[in-house]
Amino acid sequence: MLALSGNVIAKQNNNENLEHIIVTGSRVIENIDEVPASVTVITREQIEAQLKVNPELQNLLQMMVPGMAPSTNSSSNTGQTLRGRAPLVMIDGVPQSTPLRNGSLGIRTLDPSVIERIEVIKGATSVYGNGAAGGVINYITKKPTTADDFSAELDVSTRFSAVKADETLGARIEGSVSGRANKFSYLATISYEENGVQRDAEGDILGLQYGLSDVQTHNYFTKLGYDFDADKALAFTYNYYKSQQKTDLGDVFGNVNSGDKSYAIHVPPAQQKQGRPQGPSGNTNAMLKYTDNAIFAHTALTLDLYAQDIENVFFFSPNLANPDEGYDGGQSIIASQKQGLRATLNTLIDFDNTEATFIYGIDALQDTTSQPLVDGREWVPEMDMSNLAGFFQSKWVMFDDYVIKAGVRHEDIDLEVDDYRTLKLCRNAQQCSVAFEVRGDTLNYTATTYNVGLKYNAYEQFSPFFSYSQGADISDIGRLLRSATVDDIALIRTEAALIDNYEVGFTSVLDSLRIEASLYRSTSDLGTTNRFDEATGVYMPVRAPQEIWGYEALVDYRFHPAWRATATYSYVEGKNTAEDIYLGGKQISPPKATVNLQWQATDDAALTLSTLYVGSRKRFTANDAGEYVGDQGPIDDYFVMNLSGNWQFNSSANAYFGIENLLNRDYYPARAQAYTYGGYNIKGLGTTITAGIHYQF
């Protein structure tokens, strides 16, 4: 089921006694009607519906979030931007992205079984700090049961290719227990998934570049709570996530320009992927939350103390070779440790015909990130960031119909890097980068960002809004450092990018019909793209001003008590304004449309048919050799249709199925067409079937 945002979720959930609030936009609980911005909230029911088709969060977001680029059909979300810029991915407000060295692995960072809902706020924002250039994706995890009893759930499923079933059989099991005893509550979830090989529409095994064939995934999640009284509570959350590929396959590399796909075959050990298994090797998150809803008059306090340890292992790449030192390639790791404290105060004051909310506090973050190679070489030196920020946000609801929001955030960041030496890397004997000794330093960034928004809610038939928001972004400093061509860090263009985001839109509710539409434009004085250096064989960073613009629309119509249709369309485009050239596929995705048709056949049976259409984007010309380079490959359109259904046996048990790529369409995903880098031209999944049983007791 496609995500519904704004009032329609609130109205539906009022009838079903479900939560209809969001917390991401202003860091506190608020009604979604009072947010003057584009918001998508994906409910637990919608998450479960999507899992029937595909268990990957990238696929769920592409289907449910207008403005989200198409899924990459892999473990990496590089190229899967939000409105043309990188989003900040969070778990309960704790950043999962690694902005200092953005490896584009943040979306796939926990198992969907522990998620209660997903909140997506679009457009640059500094509400949660660095890295939210495109917006925020916040995974809100489940809470323990509120009743004084015990409950448990068990889900078992299998997944296999309908094109060629050999070696494709996979299995997934998840179980959870939840309960409450007086003031103490608990929730524990364990999930394990093991994939078989994945095959395209021709029956060939998909290539291994960030591939999901033969991947084993573990997730352990627990949440413990203690209520001191009606106003004061303490909660502890822990999540462990590991997902690695262990396979005896090897790649047969194709080429985008020649039209030959990359795929995998069984090979002798000497030809298999070298090094460690790729993927998260055991990422951990721990958070302690204290809330006091009456710290003093009309004011609530929330304190969040968190720690995180991330180690994402990449595939072995021959492009990290240095024959002079005996290296025929290399394998990198993004290692990141974060410790943070967030203190948020929320004061509510009622005036005549006006309800005022004031949100204010401080954020402190220590982020240490590096990207070494498994063989001991230092590719990206350790970056030690200290971030202290203060913020103030106000919201005024006047006469129940007018909503005005305004806020400010001041950021003070120190980034310390010791002296280091860049690596000499060779694609071949004629293409080698030049190593530099670089003097380190402590870089200081300060930024003050503002936001303001207006919304008018007097008429359901037309509820318009306008918003302006800024974000300060120092993301992917690591890429700049590893590609340095100067001998002093102070000479590298590491300046922060200040992003201005403008948006205007409306929602309309006419009986059973709902329409949402928005136009947006974002500008930044500095962006970061790549340009291939023929002499060195290295993709060098390019810092240049950027402008990105687009529009989105959603139509939701319940034309019969048993039938419902939802359609979305999103378009985004962007340019390097200094050179007046279009941005490549790493940032800008082609147009995207989704259509979702639901049929509640009986009280116990339901079917859902969903379609994804990705349009064409051909903004670039080939070079003198007739080849496309970088992320500038031409994208042809394609569409994929999925079918899912479930049958409720009784109040405790149900069975379900899902068919991905129902018509077995033979296609390349958008990134596979745009990226000319070696190994990315991997086709999409052929027809794949999921079947499972869920039991609650």
pLDDT at 696: 92
Token output for 322: 């240095």
Q: Name the 3-class secondary structure at 405.
A: strand
Nearest to 346 by CA among 306, 297, 410: 297
Segment 667-678 shows an average pLDDT of 95
Q: Burial-class residue 602 by CB neighbours within 10 Å (0-12, 13-18, 19+).
A: exposed
Whether residue 434 is contained in a domain is answered as yes
Residues 6 or more apart in contact with residue 16 via CB below 8 angstroms: none
Residues 6 or more apart in contact with residue 150 via CB below 8 angstroms: 177, 178, 179
Q: Name the 3-class secondary structure at 671.
A: helix
Tokens 């999901």 belong to residue = 212
* Per-residue model confidence as pLDDT tens digits over 13-62: 433 333 457 777 778 888 888 899 899 999 898 898 888 999 999 999 99
pLDDT at 3: 34
pLDDT above 80 (res 510): yes
Residues 6 or more apart in contact with residue 680 via CB below 8 angstroms: 209, 256, 262, 671, 672
CB 463 within 8 A of CB 443: no
- φ, ψ for residue 191, nearest 5 deg: -135, 145
pLDDT above 90 (res 312): yes
CA trace torsion 72, 74, 79, 81 (10° rounding): 80
Whether residue 1 is contained in a domain is answered as no
Whether residue 100 is contained in a domain is answered as yes
Instruction: Give the chain's mean pLDDT.
Output: 91
pLDDT at 10: 36
Written as one string, the DSSP assignment of 415-449 is: EEE--EEPPP-EEETTEE----EEB-EEEEEEEEE
pLDDT at 7: 34
What is the rounded CA–CA span in Å between residue 7 and residue 40? 11
Distance between first and last Cα of the chain: 26
How many domains does the structure of the chain reveal?
1
What is the rounded CA–CA span in Å between residue 215 and residue 118? 24
CA distances from 649 to 35, 44, 656 (A): 40, 20, 11
pTM of the model: 0.93
Strand partners, 12: none
CB 676 within 8 A of CB 628: yes
CB 94 within 8 A of CB 306: yes
Whether residue 176 is contained in a domain is answered as yes
CA trace torsion 555, 673, 279, 368 (10° rounding): -80
Q: Burial-class residue 299 by CB neighbours within 10 Å (0-12, 13-18, 19+).
A: middle
| pLDDT more than 70, % of the chain | 95
pLDDT band per the 50, 70, 90 thresholds, residue 6: very low
Q: CA Rg, the chain, in Å? A: 25
Segment 553-569 shows an average pLDDT of 95
Task: Fill in the DSSP letter of residue 324.
Answer: G
Tokens 């596929």 belong to residue = 585
Whether residue 46 is contained in a domain is answered as yes
Most confident of 197-206, 274-283, 418-427, 620-629: 197-206
pLDDT at 46: 87
- φ, ψ for residue 55, nearest 5 deg: -85, 5
Tokens 């995998």 belong to residue = 264
Nearest to 541 by CA among 473, 493, 490: 493
Segment 76-86 shows an average pLDDT of 93
* Per-residue model confidence as pLDDT tens digits over 360-391: 999 999 999 999 999 999 999 999 999 999 99
Residues 6 or more apart in contact with residue 202 via CB below 8 angstroms: 163, 666, 683, 686
Strand runs labelled E in 320-373? 333-351, 354-372
The domain of 559 spans 7-696
CA distances from 682 to 248, 328, 673 (A): 18, 24, 9
| Torsional sign, CA 132, 136, 137, 139 | positive
* Per-residue model confidence as pLDDT tens digits over 125-169: 888 888 888 999 999 999 997 777 899 999 999 999 999 999 999
Residues 6 or more apart in contact with residue 543 via CB below 8 angstroms: 493, 495, 526, 527, 528
Whether residue 221 is contained in a domain is answered as yes
352-355-361 Cα angle (round to 5): 135
Residues 6 or more apart in contact with residue 352 via CB below 8 angstroms: none
Nearest to 156 by CA among 168, 142, 172, 177: 172
Whether residue 2 is contained in a domain is answered as no
CA distances from 312 to 164, 221, 418, 478 (A): 31, 19, 23, 15
Type and span of the H or E element at 673: helix 670-674
Whether residue 511 is contained in a domain is answered as yes
Helix, strand, coil percentages, rounded to 5, for the chain: 10, 55, 35
CB 242 within 8 A of CB 295: no
What is the rounded CA–CA span in Å between residue 305 and residue 343? 9
Q: Burial-class residue 50 by CB neighbours within 10 Å (0-12, 13-18, 19+).
A: buried
pLDDT at 51: 86
| pLDDT more than 90, % of the chain | 76
Strand partners, 351: 354
CATH number at residue 285: 2.40.170.20
Beta strands 441-456; 437-438: pairing state:
unpaired
Strand runs labelled E in 205-298? 205-206, 215-227, 232-245, 249-252, 263-266, 279-296
- φ, ψ for residue 323, nearest 5 deg: -55, -30
What is the rounded CA–CA span in Å between residue 174 and residue 110? 13
Which is more confidently placed, 27 or 635?
Answer: 635
CA distances from 572 to 88, 614, 617, 693 (A): 19, 12, 11, 40
What is the rounded CA–CA span in Å between residue 582 and residue 571? 14
* Per-residue model confidence as pLDDT tens digits over 175-185: 999 999 999 99
pLDDT at 126: 82
